[in-house]
């Protein structure tokens, strides 16, 4: 009899321990699930920087030979990437996607958006950029400059580049490995959103981000 | 755009090229100053053995070479020539913008958007070479 009661007490204790164990697991799990469910999804498609980090105020030469500083582009959203005009695949893909983003903007937003392509290739010149960049969109801006200025600018934007072996027999026809991020800089000149190369085909969503950074959000899309 | 634009024009001498099917081939329109451009496509290998694509020729470039796109972390990308692209047996490989591609090297004429360029790709399987003819629109 005593043993029986002892057994009852033990099974009660086991039940209590099991219940406590379930509670220990379930309460935080539910709490996390609720917090995820309640947290509003970020409206930004790219990697958004909520802090204010001024983008480096470069001073480079555009494809018409004029000096352009980032500061000159205040009031505009700037989509900025690095590349080189002999790039047969990555850069045309990037600029082609950015051209599609630009086409999707309403005219008022286009007026306040600049796509900037900075060449990391010392073989490039204003002339070679003029033949290349406006091909994708005549309002896009190609920039070049002395290697030291390009190096400083690239570092300030977290971009990396280095010469890579030539594809053909001509050694001067070398390729360049380079960063493929695109920055969206806000009208005040701050880093705002960063896009990976793989995100660039999502041109609708990038166009939404551009309008948002301009303070002219796109109208809600009908499902 | 025709999604199955590139029928293979096989010559009688080809042993295995009939087992290769190429879909969605196109060439990227590039600025007039360009020395290179890229051809993209899906290559389907219906045969029981892998097929190698080793390169090719076309009227607007000195040669066509397989080019791989390398991803080096931290968003850095580059390119490197490859000896060949292997298309697995009973498999396929997709060549698309930003990835591996067939590079038209040393353009002798920059192909215009809207035109069509005939390509001849060299394929190899079990030591046997053959040529695949296809037309790729430029866009």
Q: What is the ipTM of this complex?
A: 0.81
| Nearest in space to B87 (alpha carbons), one of B128, B46, B117, B120 | B46
pLDDT at B67 over 80: yes
Nearest residue in B to A197, CA atom = B75
For residue B39, give the H/E element and its range: strand B37-45
Inter-chain residue contact A167 with B34, CB threshold 8 Å: no
Task: Tell me if B42 sits within 8 A of B22, measured CB to CB.
Answer: yes
Percent of chain B past pLDDT 90, that is, above it, reads 79
Instruction: Work out the minimum CA distance from B121 to partner chain A, whole angstroms.
Output: 18
What's the pLDDT band for B19 if we cut at 50, 70, 90?
confident
| Nearest in space to B117 (alpha carbons), one of B103, B132, B136 | B136
Spatial neighbors of A39 by CB under 8 A, at least 6 apart, are none
pLDDT at B10 over 70: no
- For the record, the structure tokens of B17 come out as 């090229």
- Pairing state of beta strands A190-195 and A47-54? antiparallel
Q: What is the pTM of this model?
A: 0.81
What's the pLDDT band for A21 if we cut at 50, 70, 90?
confident
pLDDT computed for residue B13 by the predictor: 36
| Nearest in space to B77 (alpha carbons), one of B109, B106, B45, B100 | B100
Inter-chain residue contact B78 with A86, CB threshold 8 Å: no
pLDDT computed for residue A56 by the predictor: 98
What residues in A contact B78, CB-CB < 8 Å?
Answer: 164, 175-178
User: Which of A2 and A128 is assigned the larger pLDDT?
Assistant: A128
Across the range B29-47, mean pLDDT stands at 94
Any idea which of A13-22, A32-41, A125-134, A166-175 has the lowest mean pLDDT?
A32-41
> For the structural domain made of B17-137, what CATH number should be given?
2.60.40.1890
Instruction: Work out the minimum CA distance from A33 to partner chain B, whole angstroms.
Output: 31
pLDDT computed for residue A37 by the predictor: 59
pLDDT tens column, B78-90: 999 999 999 999 9
Instruction: Work out the minimum CA distance from B4 to partner chain A, whole angstroms.
Output: 23
Task: Tell me if A219 sits within 8 A of A113, measured CB to CB.
Answer: no
pLDDT computed for residue B109 by the predictor: 96
Across the range B100-125, mean pLDDT stands at 96
- For the record, the structure tokens of B37 come out as 């451009």
What's the pLDDT band for B3 if we cut at 50, 70, 90?
very low
| Nearest in space to A206 (alpha carbons), one of A195, A221, A215 | A195
Burial group, residue B122, by CB count within 10 angstroms (0-12, 13-18, 19+): middle
What's the pLDDT band for B15 if we cut at 50, 70, 90?
very low
Give the mutation candidate from B36, B63, B69 for the A interface (greatest A CB count, under 10 A).
Answer: B36
Across the range A99-126, mean pLDDT stands at 98
Q: What is the largest CA-CA distance in chain B?
A: 49
Spatial neighbors of A203 by CB under 8 A, at least 6 apart, are A97, A100, A101, A104
Residues in A whose CB is inside 8 Å of some CB of B read 85-86, 88-90, 92-93, 96, 128, 131-132, 135, 160-161, 164-165, 167-168, 173, 175-181, 196-198
In this structure, what are the phi and psi dihedrals at residue B72, rounded to the nearest 5 degrees? -105, 20
Instruction: Work out the minimum CA distance from B36 to partner chain A, whole angstroms.
Output: 6
- CB atoms under 10 Å from CB of B25, counted, come to 22
pLDDT at A142 over 50: yes
The CA distances from residue B53 to A189, B21, B25, in Å, are 48, 13, 15
pLDDT at A197 over 70: yes
Task: Tell me if B27 sits within 8 A of B111, measured CB to CB.
Answer: yes
Inter-chain residue contact A180 with B77, CB threshold 8 Å: yes
Across the range A142-168, mean pLDDT stands at 93
What residues in A contact B106, CB-CB < 8 Å?
Answer: 168
Inter-chain residue contact B34 with A88, CB threshold 8 Å: yes
pLDDT at A33 over 90: no
CA B8/CA B112 separation, integer angstroms: 23
Percent of chain B past pLDDT 70, that is, above it, reads 88
- For the record, the structure tokens of A25 come out as 């697991």
CA B132/CA B56 separation, integer angstroms: 9
Across the range B47-63, mean pLDDT stands at 96
pLDDT computed for residue A221 by the predictor: 58
What residues in B contact A167, CB-CB < 8 Å?
Answer: 36, 65, 67, 79, 81, 103, 105
pLDDT at A118 over 70: yes
User: Which of B9 and A64 is assigned the larger pLDDT?
Assistant: A64
CA B65/CA B78 separation, integer angstroms: 16
CA A77/CA B80 separation, integer angstroms: 34
pLDDT at A215 over 60: yes
pLDDT computed for residue A218 by the predictor: 65
| Nearest in space to A207 (alpha carbons), one of A193, A197, A189 | A193
In this structure, what are the phi and psi dihedrals at residue A3, rounded to the nearest 5 degrees? -65, -35
User: Which of A30 and A176 is assigned the larger pLDDT?
Assistant: A176
pLDDT at A70 over 70: yes
Residues in B whose CB is inside 8 Å of some CB of A read 28, 30-38, 62, 65, 67, 69-70, 72, 74-81, 97-98, 101, 103, 105-106
User: Domain locations in chain B?
Assistant: 17-137
Instruction: Work out the minimum CA distance from A141 to partner chain B, whole angstroms.
Output: 15
- What's the mean per-residue pLDDT of chain B? 88
Task: Tell me if A160 sits within 8 A of A176, measured CB to CB.
Answer: no
Question: Considering CB atoms only, which of A89, A131, A164 is closest to B33?
Answer: A131
């Amino acid at each position: 009899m005593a043993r029986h009661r002892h057994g009852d007490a033990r099974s009660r204790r086991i039940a209590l321990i099991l219940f406590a164990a379930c509670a220990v697991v379930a309460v935080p799990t539910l709490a996390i699930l609720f917090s995820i469910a309640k947290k509003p999804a970020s409206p930004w498609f790219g990697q958004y920087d909520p802090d204010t980090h001024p983008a480096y105020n470069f001073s480079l030469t555009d494809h018409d030979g004029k000096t352009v500083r980032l500061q000159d582009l205040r009031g505009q959203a700037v989509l900025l990437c690095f590349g080189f005009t002999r790039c047969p695949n990555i850069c045309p893909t990037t600029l082609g996607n950015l051209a599609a983003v630009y086409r999707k903007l309403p005219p008022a937003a286009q007026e306040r958006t600049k796509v900037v392509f900075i060449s990391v290739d010392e073989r490039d010149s204003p002339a070679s950029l003029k033949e290349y960049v406006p091909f994708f969109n005549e309002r896009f801006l190609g920039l070049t400059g002395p290697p030291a200025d390009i190096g400083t600018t690239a570092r300030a934007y977290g971009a990396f580049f280095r010469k890579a072996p030539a594809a053909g027999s001509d050694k001067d026809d070398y390729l360049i490995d380079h960063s493929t991020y695109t920055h969206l800089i806000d009208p005040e000149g701050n880093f705002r959103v960063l896009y990976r190369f793989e995100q660039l085909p999502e041109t609708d969503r990038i166009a939404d981000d551009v309008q948002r950074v301009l303070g002219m959000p796109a109208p809600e899309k009908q499902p | 755009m025709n999604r199955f634009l590139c029928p293979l024009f096989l010559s009688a001498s080809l042993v295995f090229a009939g087992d290769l099917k190429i879909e969605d081939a196109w060439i990227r329109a590039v600025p007039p100053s360009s020395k290179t451009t890229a051809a993209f496509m899906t290559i389907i290998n219906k045969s029981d053995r892998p097929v190698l694509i080793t390169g090719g020729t076309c009227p607007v470039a000195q040669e066509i070479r397989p080019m791989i796109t390398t991803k080096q972390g931290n968003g850095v990308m580059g390119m490197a020539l490859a000896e060949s692209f292997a298309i697995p047996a009973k498999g396929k490989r997709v060549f698309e913008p930003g990835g591996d591609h067939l590079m038209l090297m040393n353009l002798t004429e920059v192909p215009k958007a809207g035109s069509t360029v005939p390509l001849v790709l060299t394929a190899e399987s079990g030591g046997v070479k053959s040529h695949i003819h296809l037309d790729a629109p430029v866009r």
